[in-house]
């Protein structure tokens, strides 16, 4: 090119036909999505989706907006951010929208973590955590759950070192179900250095029905090192549109926004999220219906002899150990798709009543030990 001779670098000779991937990428396990129905109909309870279809008002808003697909969306989701700020009693500068809370968490890590920094999180917890941490080149510090499937906050605080940049709390914890209490989170925050960012991942917060629930709005107001993650995928039933958001101190939010993908939240997602906020009361009735079915499912499973952790999300957890893969296959053969975690257990999403009846029918034939 331009008369310049190609240079040969013998020390870089390789037999690979393509440039090598980063070592971190090569070592990260792929995210495993929930099983999808193949052919014959089945109850899909593998992805923690809301079993209800979009509200008519939300669907109508999306249909009206479809005529603008030739235009870029509002890059900062200004109208949605303003509505969320009003809803949570914060300034718009404290809200960052993104393509689901998973992507927003990735931007949080990009904003605060350098290679080699540590991120403390519970395990087993959300499967995306090790992936996002590894992609950033950070080091994940996994703290085992307690005997009841919840976070062991004392051990998590003890795991914080001078290299720790982020401590992540998944509440309710996916896939086991228990949620954190407000007082215990406040106690944890007093034990964590203020230069450690504490992420409260509340993807399932709308389903929580326990005493002393976490008031993340109050926590955020008094602790500038806290970030709250929320999503429209679960309670709001917009999993197919991918929209979530973070609430944070304005300076932290600025960093997350800087790391975010430009025009990341598409126009239809912004419109649907706004319409969902306007239909909050109607959606709350749907959430209550899911909670009622969750309680019925938990009661039925426990009556069969299963030990079910406190379920505060829209799913239940069965610790099935070495039998997990076989039981998941048996459920699938009977038309019930669940999410297996090999060697550990099954996460079963709460579906419509017929689906939950099918779950109880399948599990009734399984030995509980």
Q: Give tens-digit pLDDT for 175-231.
A: 999 999 999 999 999 999 999 999 999 999 999 999 999 999 999 999 999 999 999
- What residues contact 174, with CB distance under 8 A and at least 6 apart? 48, 125, 126, 203, 204, 313, 315, 347
- Tell me how far apart the alpha carbons of residues 211 and 325 are, in angstroms, rounded to a whole number: 35
- Tell me how far apart the alpha carbons of residues 359 and 333 are, in angstroms, rounded to a whole number: 12
Q: What structural domains does the chain harbor? A: 33-53+281-363 (3.90.1150.10), 56-278 (3.40.640.10)
Predicted pLDDT at 14: 65
- Tell me how far apart the alpha carbons of residues 243 and 230 are, in angstroms, rounded to a whole number: 9
Predicted pLDDT at 146: 98
pLDDT digits (tens, 9 = 90+) for 280-298: 999 999 999 999 999 999 9
Predicted pLDDT at 275: 98
Q: Where are the alpha helices (DSSP H) in the chain?
A: 23-27, 56-65, 78-88, 100-112, 128-135, 153-158, 182-191, 216-222, 250-259, 267-278, 280-303, 324-333, 353-363
Task: Check residues 171 and 35 and name the one with the higher pLDDT.
Answer: 171
pLDDT at 369 over 70: yes
DSSP 282-349: HHHHHHHHHHHHHHHHHHHHHHTT-------SSEEEE--GGGHHHHHHHHHHTTEE-EEETTTEEEEE
Closest by CA to 313, choosing from 213, 167, 179, is 179
Predicted pLDDT at 12: 64
Burial status of residue 196 (CB atoms within 10 A of its CB: 0-12, 13-18, 19 or more): buried
Closest by CA to 128, choosing from 156, 100, 90, 152, is 100
Closest by CA to 163, choosing from 128, 113, 200, 201, is 113
Cis peptide before 175 (omega within 30 of 0): yes
Closest by CA to 312, choosing from 332, 331, 298, is 298
């Amino acid at each position: 090119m331009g008369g310049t001779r190609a240079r040969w670098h013998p020390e870089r000779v390789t037999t690979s036909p393509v440039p090598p991937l980063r070592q971190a990428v090569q070592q990260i396990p792929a995210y495993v999505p929930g099983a999808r129905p193949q052919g014959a109909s089945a109850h899909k309870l593998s992805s923690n989706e809301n079993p209800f279809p979009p509200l008519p008002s939300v669907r109508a808003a999306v249909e009206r907006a479809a005529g603008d697909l030739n235009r870029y969306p509002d890059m900062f989701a200004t109208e949605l951010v303003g509505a969320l700020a009003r809803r949570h009693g914060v300034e718009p500068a404290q809200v960052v929208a993104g393509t689901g809370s998973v992507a927003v968490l990735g931007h949080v890590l990009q904003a605060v973590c350098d290679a080699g920094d540590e991120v403390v999180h519970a395990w087993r917890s959300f499967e995306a955590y090790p992936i996002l941490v590894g992609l950033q080149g950070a080091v994940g510090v996994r703290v085992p759950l307690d005997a009841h499937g919840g976070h062991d906050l004392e051990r998590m605080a003890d795991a914080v070192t001078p290299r720790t940049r982020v401590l992540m709390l998944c509440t309710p914890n996916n896939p086991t179900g228990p949620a954190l209490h407000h007082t215990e989170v406040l106690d944890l925050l007093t034990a964590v250095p203020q230069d450690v960012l504490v992420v409260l991942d509340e993807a399932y917060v709308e389903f929580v029905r326990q005493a002393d629930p976490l008031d993340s709005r109050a926590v955020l107001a008094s602790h500038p090192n806290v970030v709250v993650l929320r999503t429209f995928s679960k309670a709001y039933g917009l999993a197919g549109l991918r929209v979530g958001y973070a609430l944070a101190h304005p300076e932290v939010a600025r960093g997350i926004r800087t790391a975010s993908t430009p025009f990341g939240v598409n126009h239809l997602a912004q419109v649907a999220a706004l319409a969902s906020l306007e239909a909050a009361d109607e959606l709350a009735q749907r959430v209550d219906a899911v909670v009622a079915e969750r309680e019925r499912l938990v009661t039925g499973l426990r009556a069969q002899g299963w030990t079910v952790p406190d379920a505060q999300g829209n799913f239940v957890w069965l610790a099935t150990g070495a039998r997990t893969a076989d039981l998941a296959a048996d459920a699938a053969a009977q038309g019930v798709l669940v999410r297996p975690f090999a060697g550990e257990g099954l996460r079963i999403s709460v579906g419509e009543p017929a689906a939950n009846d099918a779950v109880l029918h399948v599990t009734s034939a399984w030995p509980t030990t």
